[in-house]
Every structure is written in structure tokens, then in C-alpha cells.
Amino acid sequence: MVKRTRETLISEFSGLRARIPLIRARVNGRKYFEELKHATELELNHSAAYWVHLAHAGTLDKVEGLFSINGSYETFALLAIARNIFENLVWLRLMHANLNYGLVFYSHLLRGQEEHHTAFIQKIKDEVELFEVADQIDGDAVISAMNSIRSTDIQEDKVGAFRAVLSHQTDMLDEMIRREFSLYAEQATFNGYGFQSHLMRQKAIPAHEEQLALIRKSSTDFSSALPTLLDAKFQNLATGKWNWFDRAKEADMEKHYRFIYGYTSRLLHSTPINVITDKSLSDEEQVIILDYIILACSDILSLIEQFTFPGMGEALMINVDDETPSSDTD
């Protein structure tokens, strides 16, 4: 048996990555033909095959970006990659077995997008309130600084006192905003807290609310069409809570689930066993996890290459100089 090391496995992965451009060209060609079949965006959105092709394209992007940095990978990084690739492989195996999983994927995509935009809008609103408070504190600080310099007639002392008060206030505001993990902190520092909150109310929030409205419209359209698109089983999968164990079992990946989730539960989550025991993989375990990632990625590429369904168009679509798309049928 060939002894595998981190170095030989990373080298093996480089060979896998070399396959991606040709596979990507095939996926782009398949997606192109699927787009030609449907006259409207609504019809295209309700095409299971279209979402399988998009899932394939996104997966290729993910795999291509793995291990692009030279050097060793820490425990948390390896486990996070392994779990993500495992779950990605579950999706692709399910789609390979039944095309209807493309629409299940689309349904969960819409729900995820709606949750993301809803949470992001709330985050912006929270920051608006934060900046409005900061603007009030900032204004009060100037008044406080002005009052502090009235106690002396020496000009140099006035300037020093004014700067000291403002410096202290600036440090306090920076610490307060830092602890809120503000996305717009840098812009607020440049624009001023009051004006930045105004910009966010007038531009950022409406822009994201517009995106959220479009997502909700797509979700409503899909829900209305769902009974005509999927049978009862797949309707439940599309609208219900996703259970990784059940889906892994359906994809014949139950052992994979136990293997990956056993490690991630122990080492990624801050459970009592995680807190008081070793939080690193041994060298042997790192090799095993890395080997799993490489094999899973190989399976992913093979599944994408082999994917087919009756009536699927096959072509190679290659971007010439990343600008002009062209297609050559097989």
C-alpha cells in the first residue's frame, strides 16, 4: 500500500484541479442548452436541470479554490473543508440519482437567500441606530471639550485640553463600534456618523429590501407552481427542514456522515469534551481527513462529468480570453 502524506495528497489534488477547466466547459454548455429551452426566466427557474447545472458550476468554483495556499492546513480548516465537501457531495449524489433534487435545491436556495437578506437588513438597521448614538455622543464630546477649555486663559492649555478630550472620546467611540462588529465603520469614520446613518437609511436599506422583495416574489411563484412540479415526497423535501443524516443515508453516505460528523462535533464545537481535551488532529488523522477530501473531490468531479438525463444537450462552451463565449457541440 502506498504511504500517503500531506505532500503527496496535495500533489494528487493538483492533478484533480487540472481536470476542472474541461469539466467546466461541459457544464457551461449544458447550462447554455437548458437556457435555450425556456422562453422566460420563470420557466427557467422552475427547471430542475438548470439548478443542477448551476450547482455543478458552483461546486467547481469551490473545488478549484481549495488548497490554493502553499503550506500546511490547521485542524479547523481541514475539518471545515471536509464537512463542506461531504455535504456538497451528498447534494450531487442525490441530484445524480433523481433530477427532482434540482428543484429541492432551488427551494432551499430561496429560503437561504431570504434569511440572509432579512438578517443583513436587520444588521444595517442596528448599525444605523449605533451611528446615530455615536453621532450624539460625538456632538456632546465637542460641547464638553469646549467647556473644559474655559477654565484657563492660556491658549496652549486650551488647545491641549480640547485635543485631550476629543482624543479620549474618539477612542471610546472606536471601542464601542468595534464591539458591535460594524460593517460600515470605515465609511462612518470618513463620512461622519450622522451622515453615514443617513446614507444607509436612504440607499443601503432600500437596495437590500428591493433584493429581498425579488426573492420573495420568486419564492411565491415557486410555491404556487410546486404541486405541478414535484410529487408529495419532493414537495416535503423542498419545504421541510433539511436533515443531513437522512439525506446522507439516502445518498448511501451514512458511514461518511458518522466519520465526518464525529470529528467535527468533537473538534469544531465548543462542547465540554472540546474545551478540556486535545483540540488538534494528530498527523495520522490529518492525513486521513485530507485523503477523504481528495477522494470526495474526485467523486464530485466524476459525478459532474457523468451527469445526464433524457434530452440533455451536451456541448463545450469555452470563454476565449474570458470575454467571448463560444460553443462546440460534442
Give me the tens of pLDDT residue by residue for the chain, a chain 330 residues long: 678 888 888 889 999 999 999 999 999 999 999 999 999 999 999 999 999 999 999 999 999 999 876 667 788 889 999 999 999 999 999 999 999 999 999 999 999 999 999 999 999 999 999 888 888 876 665 556 555 555 555 455 556 665 666 666 677 777 778 788 888 888 887 888 889 999 999 999 999 999 999 999 999 999 999 999 999 999 999 999 999 999 999 999 999 999 999 888 877 777 787 777 777 788 888 899 999 999 999 999 999 999 999 999 998 988 765 444 444 544
The answer to whether residue 244 sits within a structural domain is yes
User: Do 86 and 150 sit in the same domain of this protein?
Assistant: no
The range of the structural domain enclosing residue 179 comes to 117-211
C-alpha cell at 65: 479554490
* Domain count of the fold of the chain: 2
The answer to whether residue 42 sits within a structural domain is yes
The answer to whether residue 307 sits within a structural domain is yes
Report residue 50 CA to chain centroid gap.
20
Last residue of a domain, one of 211, 226, 248: 211
User: Do 249 and 324 sit in the same domain of this protein?
Assistant: yes
Q: For the purposes of burial, counting CB atoms within 10 Å of the CB of 7, is it exposed (0-12), middle (13-18) or buried (19 or more)?
A: exposed
The answer to whether residue 291 sits within a structural domain is yes
The answer to whether residue 32 sits within a structural domain is yes
User: Do 68 and 144 sit in the same domain of this protein?
Assistant: no
Rg (CA), the chain: 27
The answer to whether residue 1 sits within a structural domain is no
Residue 307, number of CB atoms within 10 A of its CB: 19
Q: Which residues lie below 8 Å from residue 176, measured CB to CB, with a gap of 6+?
A: 130, 134
User: Do 123 and 205 sit in the same domain of this protein?
Assistant: yes
User: Do 38 and 86 sit in the same domain of this protein?
Assistant: yes
Last residue of a domain, one of 195, 211, 227: 211
Q: What is the pTM of this model?
A: 0.86
Backbone angle region of 311, left / alpha / beta, with phi > 0 → left and psi within -120 to 50 → alpha? left
